[in-house]
Amino acid sequence: MTENPDILRRARVASGHLEGISKMIEKDAYCIDVIRQIQAVQASLNQLSARILENHLNSCVTTAVRGDDPDAREKVLKEISEVFQAANRG
C-alpha cells in the first residue's frame, strides 16, 4: 500500500482536517461549521477507504482467488464480507 503515494497523501490530508476540527472545538467555533468540517473528513475517509479496498481487491484478493489455497480464498472473502457488514452497521 505504501507504493501508492496518493493513499498516504489522502490519509495525511484527512489527519490535518481532523486536527483542524479539534482546534475549532477548542476555540468554540460555530457548531454548524464544525459539523461541516466533520462531514468533509468523513467523506475524505470514505474515499480513502474505497481506494484502499480497491487496491486490496486488485492485489491480495485477486492473488488468493487465483491461487491454489482454498483457505486463503475463504479468508479473503470472509474479510471482505466482514468489512461490508461493519460498514452497514455504522
| pLDDT tens, position by position, 6-25 | 999 999 999 999 999 999 99
The answer for residues whose C-beta is within 8 angstroms of residue 23's C-beta and 6 or more apart is none
User: CA-to-CA distance for 63 and 76, rounded, in angstroms?
Assistant: 10
What own/partner pairs with CB < 8 Å and gap ≥ 24 does 22-29 have? none
Class of domain 5-89: mainly alpha
Answer whether 0.75 is exceeded by the pTM: yes
In sequence order, what are the residues at sequence separation of 6 or more whose Cβ sits closer than 8 angstroms to the Cβ of residue 57? 80
The predicted pLDDT at position 1 comes to 59
Where are the domains positioned within the chain? 5-89
CA distance 84 to 48: 15
- The reported pLDDT for the residue numbered 3 is 67
Over residues 30-72, the pLDDT tens digits come to 999 999 999 999 999 999 999 999 999 999 999 998 999 999 9
